[in-house]
């Protein structure tokens, strides 16, 4: 039986959008309480009764969280643009080789603004 799991994790960070037009409020440094939702899918192991332990998702994300938490995202190599799009792609690529069944990564900057990346 195939299932899809989703785990939400959080970190705090600052960023700015250097490519935004002059006068755009996001061109200045500001912060967010980011929520990252990681989705994986796979077959339930009939002996264990689950596909993947949620703790495995948390453990794989933790080194990434530590790189980003209470940091200026634009200072992280590969995230110079500071966008939610670049952050979702970055996290997805960091998790791809180590997290079985990775489907997508969603980065939520605010309650109403998010970006989802599902791979190439």
Q: Cite the active site residues.
A: 26, 70, 109
Closest CA to 35 of 82, 75, 88, 78: 88
- The H or E element spanning position 82 is none
Strand partners, 43: 2
| Nearest-angstrom CA–CA distance, 91 and 40 | 14
C-alpha dihedral sign at 105, 64, 52, 43: positive
């Amino acid at each position: 039986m195939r299932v899809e799991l989703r785990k939400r994790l959080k970190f705090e960070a600052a960023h700015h959008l250097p490519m935004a037009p002059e006068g755009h409020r996001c061109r200045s440094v500001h912060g967010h309480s980011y929520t990252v939702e990681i989705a994986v899918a796979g077959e339930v192991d009939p002996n264990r009764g689950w596909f993947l332990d949620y703790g495995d998702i948390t453990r794989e994300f933790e080194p990434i969280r530590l790189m980003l938490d209470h940091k200026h995202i634009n200072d992280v190599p590969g995230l110079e643009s500071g966008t939610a799009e670049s952050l979702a792609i970055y996290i997805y690529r960091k998790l791809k080789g180590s997290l079985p069944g990775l489907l997508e990564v969603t980065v939520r900057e605010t309650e109403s603004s998010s970006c989802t990346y599902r791979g190439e």
